[in-house]
Structure 1
Amino acid sequence: MIRANKGDQIVIHVQNNLGDFTTIHWHGIFQRGTTFYDGVAGQTQCLIATGTTFVYNFTGGEQYGTYWWHSHFRSQYVDGLRGALIIHDPKDPYLNDYDEEFVMTLSDWHHEESESLVKKRMAKGYDGYNPIPDSGLISGRGRYDCSKAPQGSKCVPDNPLAIYVIEKGKRYRFRVINTSAEAPFTFSIDQHPLRIIEVEGENVKPITINKINIAVGQRYSVIVNADKEVNNFWIRATIVKQCIHVTPETINVNSSLNYKVTGILRYNGAPDAYPTTQEWDEKILNCRDVDHNLLKLNPPRSPPVTPTDNFTLRITFDNIDGVGHALVNGSPFKPEVNDPTANKLMYGGDETPSMLDPDQNAFVYDTQNGSVEINLINENMATHPFHLHGHNFYIMAHGPGTVPDPIQFNLVDPAVRDTITVAGASWAVIRYTVILIILVYGLSIVILRYFSQIQWHVEMGMVGQLIERPSELKGDPIPPQVKSICPLYNDDDNNNNTAKKRSLEVYKNYYKRSDVPNHSRHVGYKFMRGSAY
């Protein structure tokens, strides 16, 4: 976990000992003025070679709240290359409303490494859905039915659960982050209401509810009052089964996944025993966000009234040469890891946005002091969480069908966040204001319900890029250490740097979407596993 204070300069040395390339993305951090440290392979930087160290150096500026970091190269973060990033605000308006805080991550877990799963998911002729997880985790701890474990494998029965010890009479802030590859969760704590105070780096007027739906990439801060008898209470993070689609052909279709993932809220002095408490007797709508009408900014601010730039993004799936792809406006994104977009368009680059290939899925706007409206049209039946880099956005409205209805727009006090769930066969409209500092933003579409965020569909091409103020972008230089990790165009290398000597062809062949699943360079990652085996 990484902690900082609002306004701090954050300097992180990433030493890559994976035996593979990598990058690290700082999920939710705007990177204003430092887009080259956003950590997105093929968009904002080249790859960090194994055996080398790369330094990320950025500030969150005025940002505060709950974020996370993860690999943004292939599906590495699914295997555990991820963690929390918390930015504290010494002037937090809710600082006196709680005594202590916990950080909690919710995630799904696969016993097979993700690269193998991607290979199967993108195999020619594959006709199933996304891989089914083997277990769910609360802060890295989960369980598996050992009677279903493969013969000869190591399985720990009754693996320890995540336990949070609290003092009666105190108030606790829980920062809850969904770091899954696919699973959306319904989160609750028996007999303890959840008072929401922050959503994805935005303070909100407190609202108390008993259960929270939390999609991949989303984050909530909730206050829990320890006002019950000294006892043990179930923490519940239920994977929403209705949001995960399955056919007989689906990878790991016979998974022994227990959808009811649990932890324990234990009052100090309570016995070391499992809780006997009952779940809240309350039904909430599956595969949907917390009602946006409940999430009011504190302090309030209004959205841009008349956008200067409008885009429509249609989300579809198709088979290309027998391989399933995820499309934005009919095109799967193909990252150019040897020559990322930032290198092309920023100072010293030799391209303009109009020169980018169609498979770069670039959406360009260059209006000074303008504002952007994006229509997200989900043309398939699955629910899709959509995450935007570089901006939090106003959620103007959402609804069924494929044609947005401006009559429904909230022009006064819409919810603001960086990840929205768009239901199947539905639309959503978001807006945000163009800032003076120039960036290249990644646009990741995350897919839940019967597809995964995230990783499976990012790997299949569901990514777009927003190019903001390209006329100013050319004057923004990239630090030499960022460019130095990119491959050379020839073998001229007086410094004998291994990373720099890798040829362009190695990079180009390494991340070919049309050639997936031919990943042949994988080296097993040695990440700490929190599941049962």
Structure 2
Amino acid sequence: MQLLASLVLLALLKARSATAAVKEYTLDIVNAPLAPDGFNRVGILANGTFPGPLLTANKGDTVKVTFNNKLTDESMRVSTSIDFDGVLSDTASVYDEGSPFVTQCPFGPNTSYTYTLPLGDQTGSSWYHSQLSLQYADGLRGVFIIYDPEDPLKHLYDVDDESTIWTVADWWHNTSVSGLISYNLTQIIPVQDSGLFQGVGRYQGGPEVPYAVQNVQEGTRYRFRLINISARSDFIFSIDNHTMTVIEVDGTATQPLEVNILDIMPGARYSVVVTANQPVGNYWINAISSGGNPANNLLFNSTLGRGILRYAGAPDAEPTTPMTKGPQGAAANLLQEHELTPLIPNPPPEPDFTLTFTTFMPDKETVWLLNDTQYTPPKVPTLIKILDGANSSADFAQSENTFIFPANKTVEINFLPDPTDELHPFHLHGNRFWVIKSNESDIVNTINPVIRDVAAKGNGGTILRFTTDKPGPWFFHCHIFWHFWAGLGSVMVSDPDGIRQQVRPTEAWDELCPAYNALPPAEQ
């Protein structure tokens, strides 16, 4: 019997290896003009497009992405480092995780770097962006989808392809560098000029840029993959007269849950099934962004963030109905995070370690503190220090806010409620966590809570758990990148001994830090 089981397992492994592929992409990072809301400026773009080119793969594939840094405009950052949000790097290639000064150094102008990402069994909706400073606010962001040919929820939809991938984003007319100067002087994050759906939008008083159109066929069920690639803004999202059935959150398949409006935070991803079951016509897709006081930027009008759902046979025109913010009051069936559960039950282990976290911004200082510490990137990346023998938090400066855990333990992070604090979407690199308690609910779920990699910390208190079964140094930070830039981050190190045993960086990785450190400040 044991021999038969071994033979079956071997056959399955052979079958998987036979279908797996190596997919290779090459992207040029360039300074190029763009005008997503009609205002012309120069940005930082992958292959000259915003959002950047779509990357796709199937479960089990290995993806290699070569980025050629061709940046020249020193009014913005010209070095870069790319993070693949939601892509769970394996330990052997953790050096390609893309976190500057944690897993690698950035790479400068006129150089290239190839990220190798073995995908294993992971699937779902993810994205890529610059992780250096606030550079991705200048445009360096795109989508990465890992398809599952054997998706257990495939019976719920008819269409899931490149035409059904949706992005929402915030956009500024000024560069991120000038925005950071203003933020540092005033403590006020610059309010975006516009909110974008599918890479286009409008600002108050600006040109009437045509809204993005999603074409649908009456009676067809669509899996829309909604991805918030913002640097700051969350979006209240809905489609007039239509419901949405959530079936995935941050790469985790979930039990189907029907809603008609949802709040999607920066870095978060949802798959929703929408059935085109209304009379043929045009319907507003409402993508209402928030973030800051609109009085600080009179160009920003949240109601201008939207797209159009157009049925085959409908006129080529905007909907005639009012631009609203979606269902309100009793008509609103808002997605509640605590109501989401994984499709396959996966109870969280009891915690071995508990961290109690607070977030705080001191008055008159552009500093964000996580447990009284402002995270500051070190000159020597965390991974290098670990490979050189670092074993405890004492081996790192306090400003690195680094926590060390042994292998195969469970860590609980308890964010205390704070009525004076604002919302922070915290993201864990390289892992997913159980959301034991969501910010919007008092319910504590230790049986079958949702599993994701971005969760809100706000005034309600949030409890997360993750396991240290994957060796590596993993960034844990606020995905409002203005807050992250000001210090709202930390590093969770799982199993330093396992890192030293399993990680074997390439020669190209070894050359990153010497090359970066040799650059003049203007090119870093």
Could you say whether these structures have the same fold, taking a TM-score greater than 0.5 normalized by the shorter chain as the test? Answer: yes
Distance change >3 Å, CA 82–CA 399, structure 1 → 2: closer
Q: Specify which of 468, 485, 496 is matched with residue 434 of structure 1.
A: 468
2:450 aligns with: 415
| Structure 1 consecutive aligned stretches of length 4 or more whose deviation exceeds 4 Å | none
Q: Specify which of 425, 428, 436 is matched with residue 385 of structure 1.
A: 425
2:44 aligns with: none
1:23 aligns with: 81
Q: Is the 8 A contact 2:55 2:145 kept in 1?
A: yes
CA distance in 2, matches of 1:15, 1:283: 50
Any idea what the Cα deviations from partners look like across 1:127-158, whole Å, max 9, x if unmatched? Answer: x4211111110010101234xxxxxxxx6x21
- Asked whether 1:104 is paired with 2:166, we answer yes
Q: Which moved more, 1:291-300 or 1:103-112?
A: 291-300
Higher relative contact order (CA 8 A, sep 6+): 1
CA distance in 2, matches of 1:501, 1:226: 54
1:339 aligns with: 380
5+ unaligned residues in a row in structure 2: which ranges?
1-53, 73-77
1:477 aligns with: 504
CA distance in 2, matches of 1:521, 1:389: 27
CA distance in 2, matches of 1:501, 1:129: 31
5+ unaligned residues in a row in structure 1: which ranges?
147-154, 447-452, 488-498, 511-519, 523-533
CA distance in 2, matches of 1:285, 1:442: 39
CA distance in 2, matches of 1:254, 1:143: 13
Q: Specify which of 356, 359, 381 is matched with residue 396 of structure 2.
A: 356
1:7 aligns with: 60
Q: CA deviation at 1:29?
A: 1.3
Q: Specify which of 472, 475, 478 is matched with residue 445 of structure 1.
A: 478
Residue identity in the other structure for 2:483: H
Q: Secondary structure at the residue paired with 1:302?
A: coil
Distance change >3 Å, CA 96–CA 364, structure 1 → 2: same
CA distance in 2, matches of 1:98, 1:67: 20
CA distance in 2, matches of 1:285, 1:357: 52
Any idea what the Cα deviations from partners look like across 1:404-459, whole Å, max 9, x if unmatched? Answer: 99xx53121112111111223x3211112221x4111001123xxxxxx1x11111
Q: Secondary structure at the residue paired with 2:415?
A: strand
CA distance in 1, matches of 2:134, 2:64: 25
Residue identity in the other structure for 2:347: S
Q: CA deviation at 1:284?
A: 8.4
Distance change >3 Å, CA 259–CA 181, structure 1 → 2: farther
CA distance in 1, matches of 2:102, 2:403: 13
CA distance in 1, matches of 2:506, 2:448: 39
Q: Is the 8 A contact 1:289 1:421 kept in 2?
A: no
Distance change >3 Å, CA 289–CA 350, structure 1 → 2: farther
1:93 aligns with: 152
2:328 aligns with: 282
Distance change >3 Å, CA 289–CA 15, structure 1 → 2: farther
Q: CA deviation at 1:177?
A: 0.6
Q: Is the 8 A contact 1:315 1:378 kept in 2?
A: no
Any idea what the Cα deviations from partners look like across 1:106-143, whole Å, max 9, x if unmatched? Answer: 011110111110111112xx2x4211111110010101
Residue identity in the other structure for 1:458: F
2:485 aligns with: 459
2:43 aligns with: none
Q: CA deviation at 1:100?
A: 1.5
2:193 aligns with: 134
Cα RMSD of the aligned pairs, angstroms, is: 2.4
Distance change >3 Å, CA 281–CA 324, structure 1 → 2: closer
* Larger helix fraction of residues: 2
Q: CA deviation at 1:342?
A: 0.8
Q: Secondary structure at the residue paired with 2:318?
A: coil
- Asked whether 1:174 is paired with 2:224, we answer yes
Q: Give aligned-pair identity as a percent.
A: 32
Q: Specify which of 244, 257, 282 is matched with residue 292 of structure 2.
A: 244
Q: Is the 8 A contact 1:68 1:82 kept in 2?
A: yes
- Asked whether 1:326 is paired with 2:368, we answer yes
Residue identity in the other structure for 1:283: G
2:48 aligns with: none
Q: Is the 8 A contact 1:377 1:428 kept in 2?
A: yes
Q: Secondary structure at the residue paired with 1:116?
A: helix
Residue identity in the other structure for 1:414: P
Map 1:491-506 onto structure 2 (within 5 A).
Answer: 499=515, 502=518, 506=520
CA distance in 1, matches of 2:517, 2:139: 29
Q: CA deviation at 1:245?
A: 4.1
CA distance in 2, matches of 1:433, 1:258: 39
Q: Is the 8 A contact 1:135 1:142 kept in 2?
A: yes
Q: Is the 8 A contact 1:200 1:220 kept in 2?
A: yes
1:223 aligns with: 273
CA distance in 2, matches of 1:428, 1:332: 20
Residue identity in the other structure for 1:65: G
Residue identity in the other structure for 2:147: H
Residue identity in the other structure for 2:328: E
Q: CA deviation at 1:310?
A: 1.6
Residue identity in the other structure for 2:385: K
1:515 aligns with: none
Q: CA deviation at 1:266?
A: 0.5
Q: Secondary structure at the residue paired with 2:512?
A: coil
Distance change >3 Å, CA 445–CA 374, structure 1 → 2: same
Any idea what the Cα deviations from partners look like across 1:316-361, whole Å, max 9, x if unmatched? Answer: 1125xx641011111111112x421111112xx2533321111000
Q: CA deviation at 1:500?
A: 6.2
CA distance in 1, matches of 2:105, 2:59: 28
Q: CA deviation at 1:254?
A: 3.3
Q: Secondary structure at the residue paired with 1:324?
A: coil
CA distance in 2, matches of 1:302, 1:256: 43
CA distance in 1, matches of 2:334, 2:426: 12
CA distance in 2, matches of 1:180, 1:237: 12
CA distance in 1, matches of 2:405, 2:384: 18
CA distance in 1, matches of 2:159, 2:439: 39
CA distance in 2, matches of 1:384, 1:285: 27
